[in-house]
Amino acid sequence: MGLFLKWLLTLGIWGVVIIGIITAYFAYDLPNTDKALEVSRRPLVTFVARDGSKIYETGNLKGAPVKINDLPKYVSQAVIATEDRRFYSHHGIDIIGVIRAFARNIEAGKIVQGGSTISQQVAKNLFLTPDRTFKRKYQELLLAFWLEQKFTKDQILSIYLNRVYLGSGTYGIDSASRKYFGIPARKLSVFQAAIIAGLLKAPSRLNPNTNLKAAILRGKVVISNMVVAGYLTKTQAKKALSGKIYQGRRSYSKGVGRYFIDWIYEQLKGFIGPQGKDIIVKTTLDLNLQGRIENFVDNYLKKNSKKYNVRQCAIIVMSPYGEILAMVGGRNYQKSQFNRSTQARRQPGSAFKPIVYLTAIESGLTPDSKFVDSPVSIKGWAPQNYDRKFYGEMSLKEALARSINTIAVKLSEHVGRGKVIKTARRLGIMAPLIPSPSLALGTFGVSLIELTGAYAVLANGGNGIWPFGLMEINYSSGGKLYRRHGDGTGQIIEPRHVSQMNSMMGEVIRSGTGRKARLGVLAYGKTGTSQGFRDGWFIGYTKDVVAGVWIGNDNESPMNKVTGGTLPAAIWKKIMSEALQIKTAAKKSRIRRAEPVLEHKSFWDNLISKIMSPD
């Protein structure tokens, strides 16, 4: 017996020594705890539409610091009942919880429950990486003991509630409360508190903004846990579950305008440089118009995709001065973030012809100048018309309206391909252009935003523009960081030439290939179809709005005989009708508020004047 006790004592001593060595080894490598209350985070960037409504947030949202005493009791109770029911009785490690979790995991044959206390989770969240290693777990235990010695239980719980990640870039219960319910944490209802406590298990999967059903089911589990823990009676639980989750309408937009937001976000560093403060970015986006267009495009393609073998669509709507009012970069942002309105370069076909005709007009020709539609051959290349027929002599106005290929090529050769390229550059088209004979027929790649911007120059009377979406950048805490000033490059097309181009492009819609785009107001535009029906375009404008439409397939497979005058023209007509309707309603609203409206300026002119005015 004495020998046994001797060996037991010896093993005990060696066990203490080994544990001491391990503890010393891992404690030596512990992270610095002096900055326990500091949190590194990405600055929060909030994007708002032109009317001030919120579109999207990115970065890490951090709410106001809260203390346990500042919150309703049921907020902390919901967390404790679900995450660490013996929080106030253990000293950093819950032995009972560890044993229970171990037993359930053995029974399930996999990890289904963790035994970490709130103190351990604070240690991990503040100081350690999420790596599942013995070293990290051991350091977590050491830090949990340290936290229990340094802080009171209420302080540890406050640190936890202020720092824990709760999905959608939110850190802390106050930021989550504001993000998901639009209220500070001190105003949370019992059920709202339960939903947020439920997020601790899986912040992304149980996010109420993206999976409300799952969030509610998890919230009900938390309510049940509160009953078991003695924090709620069954009657109180039933009353909590019958309450409303959302007390009012949320201004947050679910996914609308995401292609636009990505486009703007890429530009931010160029404006503000590296900085760590939260900012609010005011954009030109018309959220109402954007939502209508996205809904229309989705439904339209569902009805026509299979019949016409068309899977993608891109749309740009802007004011004549370049403000982007709506942007559709594809059919479904969740499936593909590639922005076909700004990143893709597709052959514009005949939608490029107005640039050729403008060059000819500026070279001395007129809409009434005569050219002959007849066979033409340039070093063995012989362009054909769409119907493979020739119609003889006709005016430039008629040739553009009917989209005659041979005359467009003859015009390009007459004025010089170099001059055509210079005109394109002046209008803002920066895509590579090759001075080949087929230049006049749009056989090179160009982006939708560039080509739509070129048409906008004609819409505003000949002033050069840069398509833009940023209006202001302000610090969330107050103070202006950037405000757009200036209004383009000035007059780059003479008014008389603009008038002549409008005459010809108006005829395209009145009697030519763009008849399906007719509106109830004067409108001007041009169809475009690339070789093999791989791209369909319609770009046009009124005095107030400019819009461009492209449809096709990402793999450039042919559509089922879709030309610019069919589906693209019909889509253009619909989105222009929506844009003009919104513009008219906004104008009437301005008049009712007795705001001055200058008679010689359009609705968008007045809006631009306000945006561009000095502070």
Query: Whole-angstrom Cα distance, residue 385 to residue 374?
Result: 10
Please tell me what DSSP assigns to residue 559: P
CA 180 to mean position of chain CA atoms: 18
Does the annotation mark 398 as catalytic? Answer: no
Does the annotation mark 362 as catalytic? Answer: no
First to last CA, the chain: 92
Q: Is 241 exposed, middle or buried (0-12, 13-18, 19+ CB in 10 A)?
A: middle
Q: Which residues pair with 541 in a beta bridge?
A: 524, 546
> Which two three-digit tokens encode residue 60?
């890490």
Let me know: does 547 contact 317? Beta carbons within 8 Å: yes
Angle between helices 212-228 and 234-241 (to 10 degrees): 170
Ramachandran sector of residue 393 (left: φ over 0; alpha: ψ -120 to 50; beta: rest): beta
Query: Whole-angstrom Cα distance, residue 613 to residue 615?
Result: 7
**187-202: b (≥16 Cβ within 10 Å) or e:** ebbbbbbbbbbbbbee
CA 370 to mean position of chain CA atoms: 49
Query: Whole-angstrom Cα distance, residue 526 to residue 127?
Result: 61
Query: Whole-angstrom Cα distance, residue 344 to residue 354?
Result: 21
Residue of 177, 319, 350, 403 with catalytic role: 350
CA nearest neighbour of 602 among 521, 535, 533: 521
Let me know: does 113 contact 99? Beta carbons within 8 Å: no
Q: Which residue has the tokens 């009171």?
A: 152
- 281's enclosing H/E stretch is strand 279-283
Number of H helices and E strands in the chain, helices first, is 20, 16
Phi first, then psi: what are they for 283, rounded to 5°? -115, 175
Q: Which residues pair with 282 in a beta bridge?
A: 48, 472
Query: Whole-angstrom Cα distance, residue 470 to residue 308?
Result: 37
Residue of 83, 294, 323, 398 with catalytic role: 83
Q: Is the dihedral of CA 51, 54, 58, 62 positive or negative?
A: positive
Residues in the chain: 615
Residues whose CB falls within 8 Å of the CB of residue 605, separated by 6 or more in sequence, listed in order? 321, 598
Other CB atoms within a 10 A radius of the CB of residue 39 amount to 14
Residues assigned a catalytic role: 83, 350
